[in-house]
């Protein structure tokens, strides 16, 4: 089973490579937006997307993102994934305030 976790696109980091920064439950991670690219990539900033293995797979609305995060937290399926992402992000200095 594949698990996509909602994340909010916060900035375009490399338009040529279709890369953006996403905030996934407080963890910042660079993701590919190739699957959801728009003619103007800046239109994606502020949008929510389902993130899976470093790819924004589909754009979702904020309400759907909140409901999905709540369901995942309730089931406990996202906790280990989020902790692993936080550990990885901390190792490379991508957590908030580590810029």
Q: Is 92 a member of any domain?
A: no
b/e for 55-89, b at 16 or more Cβ within 10 A? bbbebbeeeebeebbeebeeeeebeeebeebbeeb
- Using CA atoms, how far apart are residues 8 and 86, in angstroms rounded to an integer? 16
10-residue averages of pLDDT along the chain (99 residues):
88 98 94 97 97 96 92 73 77 60
Chain segment 15-29, per-residue pLDDT in tens: 999 999 999 989 999
Instruction: Give residues with Cβ within 8 angstroms of 50, minimum separation 6.
Output: 4, 5, 6, 7, 56, 57, 58, 60, 68
Q: Is 27 a member of any domain?
A: yes
Instruction: Judge if pTM exceeds 0.75.
Output: no
Q: Which domain holds residue 69?
A: 5-87
What counts of helices (H) and strands (E) characterise the chain? Answer: 2, 5
Q: Is 54 a member of any domain?
A: yes
């Amino acid at each position: 089973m594949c698990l996509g976790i909602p994340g909010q696109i916060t900035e375009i980091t490399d338009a040529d490579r279709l890369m953006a920064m996403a905030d996934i439950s407080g963890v910042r991670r660079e993701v590919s937006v190739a699957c959801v690219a728009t003619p103007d990539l800046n239109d994606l900033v502020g949008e929510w997307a389902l993130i899976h293995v470093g790819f924004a797979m589909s754009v979702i609305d904020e309400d759907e993102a909140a409901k999905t995060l709540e369901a995942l937290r309730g089931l406990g399926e996202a906790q280990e994934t989020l902790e692993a992402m936080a550990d990885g992000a901390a190792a490379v200095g991508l957590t908030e305030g580590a810029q």
